[in-house]
Structures are given as C-alpha cells and as structure tokens.
Chains A and B, each alone.
Chain A
Amino acid sequence: MSKVNVTMSVRKASASTSIIDIQGEINAFAENVLMDAYTQASSAGAQNILLNFSGLEYMNSSGIGLLVTLLIRAKRQNQRLVACGLSEHYQQIFLLTRLNEAITIFSSEADALAAL
C-alpha cells in the first residue's frame, strides 16, 4: 500500500531567501522530493534556504540523514540553511543528533525571516 507521504513547495521570500514548506513525512523515500525542492529553491540564486517544518507529521532517522546531506550541499554552495516550525519533539531530535549546531532553529517563519 502506498500514498503521497510528503509534499514540498517552494516560495520566494526575498531575492536572497527561499522557503521550502514541508508537509507530511520525511523518510528515505523523500530524498528526490527534498533535493528537487532544494534545486528549485536555489535556482534563483538564494543565499538562505528556510525549511518550514510546520506541516511535518513524522520524520525518522533516514530523514535526519537527508537533512545532513542537504546541509553539506548547501554549505558547499555557500548557502545558509535554517529551520522553523519544528515541534518541541523534533527540536529535541535536532539537539540529540546535533543538527542544531549547524541549522539555526527559529520558532516561527516571521522570526526566521527577520533574522536573515
């Protein structure tokens, strides 16, 4: 049995910042969607990529692995990757996996955009 588990949409917040809205589940199967969304977000030369996790329903350890790969890719392009909308549970997972040391977490999209 299968269903659409993840949807990612890309918005432009400014000339330098793109937002990826994540709806659903991030697991190993989300790799192509995440990388396609990142490519789209970067296509206009964005220097900041904001991952909006407000619609995140579930993320397993493979999902965290995808975020690490994305982070390395963004770093190599001299881009900054930040996050917002993470539930308390997933903020703890970022802490546990030490992703928070490389991806700044903001409580809301407005806070993130104000800081970028």
Chain B
Amino acid sequence: MAEFNQETPTTSHPENAWAPPTPHMKVADAPGGAMNLNVEGRQPVSPLQGFGQMWQKTFKVRLSGIGLTPIQVMEAWKANFSKFQPPENRFYPTMTGIQPGSVLLIQAKVPPFPGMPSMLPVATGVMVLYADEESFTVMCPEGHPLAGWNTFSAYEEDGTVVVQVLEQSRANDPLYEFMFRYMGASGQQDNIWIHVLSALAEHLGVKGQVMVTRTLIDPSVQWSEAKNIWKNAAIRTVIYVAATPIRWLNDLR
C-alpha cells in the first residue's frame, strides 16, 4: 500500500462556509439599478456541465511589503469587490454582501467584434458557493458565458501575502466557445481579473505585477451540452433590451 502525505498551513474550517443546498439560484433582494435577468431560477453549473474546452487559469499578485494578514486582505477584497471591477463589468452584490448562497448580479458589456467598443449588454450573475476568512468561490448559472467557478483567495507564500483568482471553467455553449476562441472574448475575460487584482493591489498601496498561468485541462468539447445555447444570457439580454419599447407600450395601455 502506497501512502502520500502533505503538510500545509493551518486554515480555518468554518461550519457554514458552503452555500445551502439549492437546485436553483434565488435572488433574494435585487439591488436598485440591477437587471435581475438570466439568474433567478437558473441552475448553478460546474465545468462538467459546460460545452467548450476546459481551462484552468490562475491570476496572482504578490503584495510585497504589505503589513496585512491574508485575512485582512480578504476582508478588504470582499468589502470592495464591486469597486475593483472594470467599468464595463458592473457587479451588484446583495445587501448581505459576499455570503455563502448569496447572488451577485452582473451587468456587463461586450464588444460585438474584436477591437470594437463594448456595447452588447449581458445580464447575468454568480452565486457565492463558498466563503471563509481567506477565500471565496463564485459559481456561474446556466446561460452565463462560462460554466464553472472562480476562487478568490489570499494566502502567504515565502513570507509574502499573495492574492489570487483561480478560474476553472468551460464556455457554456457553442456560441460562447466561438466567441472565446476566435473573437477575443477569452482575452477580455482574462483582462477582467487582471484589472481586479491590479485595483486591489492599488487599493492596498502596492504596485504589483499580475502573473497569469493558463492550463488546458480538457481540449475536447462536450457536444452533449450544445443545447445550453437555449439559455444563452447574451442572446436573451439583447432580445430583452430590444423588446423594451414593446413593454413600455404595453404598460401604457
């Protein structure tokens, strides 16, 4: 019998770190100005339910010389999570903030083609799957561009606090996969996390270089999940926005 051991730093084990079991996402209190579209009632999806190639991407910054613990850094990150997003990617946390089970609504704008300005709206969201003192993970719903999760963490490495975003995902459907592979959406997605980490470092008074690692975990696509396109949040948001005048007219009657 072979045996393998690992010595690791001691970490906290909170009782309620995981979201309560829920088959469908529920938006308890949509913040004002947020579009609650493509989230309510949607199932969370792991990388196993997505269509495209599965990638694992790591973005990290070493906060050299910072006089804070990973827990303090994570507190600042959670409290200002929305503020660190790029302008074209608005996050709307609920009143409860980043708590297991809570939903963060997202209103993003994406360019229709590479090099064009971000103008196509996408309304979606993520559910906080797990949260402890040094990390939290958000999971995507059906229809979101990605099927999978992102883990945001702060930890010590060689005596320096490191902040990291680890994305494990596939494109949710064939259209998104096309956008990611051939239309520059993958780079745009990467830029979101580079922006977030740079903004966090700047907020903490550190100028850090974001290091990026991309690993292709599964090069094959899952054709059995091509049907996910039916719930594509980008398509549904464009239709919803285009139909706004019709809804106004109906309301006037």
A residues sitting closer than 8 Å to B (CB atoms) are: 1-11, 25, 27-30, 32-33, 36-37, 40, 57-58, 60-62, 65, 68-69, 71-72, 76, 89, 92-93, 95-99, 101-102
Residues in chain A near residue B149, CB distance under 8 A: 61, 65
Residues in chain A near residue B130, CB distance under 8 A: 60-61
A85 and B148 alpha carbons, distance in the complex (Å)? 25
Give residues 10-33 of B contacting A (CB, 8 Å). Answer: 10-11, 13, 17-19, 21-22
The minimal Cβ–Cβ distance linking A68 to chain B, given in whole angstroms, is 6
Residues in chain A near residue B5, CB distance under 8 A: 4, 6-7, 33
The stretch of B42-50, B75-83, B110-118 in contact with A is B42-50
The interface size of chain B toward A, counting residues with CB under 8 Å, comes to 39
Q: A10-B2, A61-B135, A65-B151 are in contact. Are A71 and B7 (CB under 8 A)?
A: no
Residues in chain B near residue A68, CB distance under 8 A: 46-48, 168
A-B contact pairs, 24 of them (CB 8 A): A8-B4, A9-B1, A9-B2, A10-B1, A27-B11, A28-B153, A29-B9, A30-B6, A33-B6, A61-B149, A62-B137, A62-B151, A62-B153, A62-B166, A68-B47, A68-B48, A69-B217, A96-B18, A96-B19, A96-B22, A98-B45, A99-B46, A99-B48, A102-B48
B residues sitting closer than 8 Å to A (CB atoms) are: 1-11, 13, 17-19, 21-22, 43-49, 54, 56, 129-130, 132, 135, 137, 139, 149, 151, 153, 166, 168, 217-218
Q: A30-B6, A40-B2 are in contact. Are A61 and B151 (CB under 8 A)?
A: yes
Residues in chain A near residue B7, CB distance under 8 A: 2-5
- The answer to whether A25 and B8 have CB atoms under 8 Å apart is yes
Q: Which 7 residue pairs across A and B have the least CB separation, nearest first?
A: A29-B8, A61-B130, A61-B137, A33-B6, A9-B3, A5-B8, A92-B21
Q: Identify the interface centre among A4, A28, A89: most chain B CB within 10 Å of its CB.
A: A28
A74 and B44 alpha carbons, distance in the complex (Å)? 24
Residues in chain B near residue A30, CB distance under 8 A: 6, 8
The minimal Cβ–Cβ distance linking B218 to chain A, given in whole angstroms, is 5
